[in-house]
Each structure stands twice: as C-alpha cells, then as structure tokens.
A and B are shown apart, each in its own frame.
Chain A
C-alpha cells in the first residue's frame, strides 16, 4: 500500500524513459558515490511494490495540430447560457484549406515564425531575428491574456488633479 507518495517517491529522466525511485530510511550507514561513509542514513531504492495505474504523467503534446473547422468560432450561439463549441476533426494530411488548431493570437505568432524562417532561408538574419522577437512577443501576449491582473494605486494627497 503506497502512502505519502509526494514525500517518498522521486523521478528523473533517462532519454525517453522516466526513472522512478522510492525513498527509504535506513538504520545503517552507507558509503556515498565517492566511497565515503555518509552520516545521512537515507537511501533511494527501486519501487518496492506494484501499483496498478500508479504512475501519472501530465505533459504537453501535439493535440490535433490541424483540424477541419475553425476552432475560434462557436458552432451555435443562441443566448448567454446556450452555446456550443465546434467539434474538431483532426486533419492528418494538412492542406491549404486546413485550419491551425490554435487561438487567434497564437496563429498570428505562427505567421511571425513562418516569416522568420523564410527570412533565414533567404539569408536575412537581421529580419529573421526581428520576426522571432515578434513571435515571442505574441506568445507573451497570449500568456498575459490568461492572467488579467488589475493593479490600483492610491494617488498622493498632494497630486494635481
């Protein structure tokens, strides 16, 4: 039975694999990697139990990069409480009519990226850098659109109005 897993399990990457270790308290002293006796009596061991569906990996992935319908328009929009999003079908062999499955801001960022790659292809590195800067600027704008924060400042008493 696994318990307190956030404190007892650790992971690290090894190529396309994840390595899982469990933390165990020892009652004896162990030499460290240099052969010195370590006063720390803890060690990492391989998982010592089988847990069905025990490992959960949350990751960023390609999810339908190209779709058949515009992902940024509602399918139906009859009232404030009644609307439906479009159902998107992935296009595995994208063509000119395929839609990019990104919001408007990220689609505009894609335009900048394509322009930068085209500039690089033509040997214009300065222009490439300019478009890449625009690309990252739009990514930042997209992130800040998700985090609208209002900051209020009290105006000083002596300020001219």
Chain B
C-alpha cells in the first residue's frame, strides 16, 4: 500500500503528518509483534557489565551468551530485577 492510498482511505491531506503517523503505527506494531527481528553481536569484556544496545531497538526479543564449551552455541539467558549485593566488581 502506498502512502497516497493510505491517505485517501483515511481522508488525510497532509502528507508529512500522515508519514509521521504511519511511523508511529509501525512503532506500535513492532512493539507488540515480531515483524522485523534484527541480531547484533557484541564482545563481552572482562570486568565490564554494561554494554550498549543498538539505537534502533524498539523491543528486546532475547539476549544470549556464547557457550564456548558447548560447540559455540548462543544460549538464551534470563532477566533479573531488584536489588543486588554487588555495586561494583573490580576483580571478579
């Protein structure tokens, strides 16, 4: 469907406004459904716990860590929440 067809169906005349709303709609769709999954890989560095997430991320589907002992498979890891005893770890 073209932008023009959508504008005609919705009865909108302002193209820029229509495109902005279409982008919002796509954002909603990507937030709730798995339409376009992307994968990025990062190096894990010793003693470093924070890693940048990609700027184009809308929602996380899974996070995995490479298991080098098991034929180099990426295994999904679990999410934690709440308080932790460790505040900084300089010598893990």
Contacts and interface: CB of A to CB of B under 8 A. Distances in A.
Interface of A: 1-6, 9-14, 16-22, 30-33, 43-63, 65-66, 94-100, 102, 104, 106-111, 113-115, 117-118, 135, 139, 142-143
A11 B80 contact: yes
Interface string B12-35: 100100110111111111111111
Given A33-B85, A143-B33, A47 B46 contact: yes
A16 B55 contact: yes
A55 B10 contact: no
Interface size class on chain B is 35 or more
Contacts of B55: 16
Contacts of A115: 10-11
6 contacts: A12-B79, A59-B37, A59-B58, A60-B31, A60-B38, A100-B6
Contact of B54 (A11, A45, A59): A59
Given A43-B85, A45-B86, A139-B29, A96 B4 contact: yes
B63 A98 contact: no
